Amino acid sequence: MTRRELTSTTRRAVAKLEPGRRVVVVTGTNTGVGKTIATAALAATSPGRVVVVKPVQTGVADDPDRDAGVVHRLTGCAVQEYAALDDPLAPDTAARRQGVSIPPVAEHVDRIRALADDHDTVLVEGAGGLLVRLDADGGTLLDLAAALSTTLPPDVALEVVVVCAAGLGTLNHTELTVGALRARGLEPTGLIIGSWPSEPGLAETCNQHDLPRVTDLPVLAVLPAGAGALGRPQFLASAPTWFA
């Protein structure tokens, strides 16, 4: 099966399962690309009972406005955070420096599966990029998504959304992330450009057209820069307009 045929097959399967329950893993091509605001936008546009999970949050000593709190502030939806670490580093590094233990990826998988029993949409926001280590055993968000793909009930769909930057370098970073997912048998649902400048340059304009071409994935949404500074009513009203 070609990549294009695989993509079409996956899109049909997702569309068929849309009315039912789903777990959406939100990963990024790097840190700082807009995963948290993209997660909030997905929460704002998802019907039914929605919960957002942040398995590991780092950098809490320097930034008390944590990702889960930002999502709740913007959307009002329920949020859960399983581990919080002081230093703004990869979770396994931050945990070693702090001298604390953090849950293994398998524990996150179990808790997410349990949430899927009681919610229509469970959104899982990663930390940094796809291969950042979330535990002391080398487990990554890719491992978490792969485990969910084989253990979720048949009536719960797994989707993976890749959040990417708009500017130079994004084509390479996005292709690498998508390639790593496909190598594990996971076909992403699509891309979200996490922060679109008010005055895009040549690189941004070209990338918006080239991202779906080089990845064979749709751009699901383009989020304007500064969207995280909106108040909740304006964010909730605006979020649907950012999606294709």
Question: CA gyration radius for the chain?
Answer: 17
Of the candidates 215, 238, 202, the one whose C-alpha atom is nearest the C-alpha of residue 164 is 215
Helix (H, G, I), strand (E, B) or coil at 37: helix
Is 35 one of the catalytic residues?
no
Q: Active site residue: 54, 66, 108, 133, which one?
A: 54
What whole-number distance in Å separates Cα of residue 42 and Cα of residue 123? Answer: 8
CA 30 → CA 116, 129, 169, distances in Å? 27, 5, 11
Helix (H, G, I), strand (E, B) or coil at 13: helix
Residues present in the chain in total: 244
Catalytic residues: 54
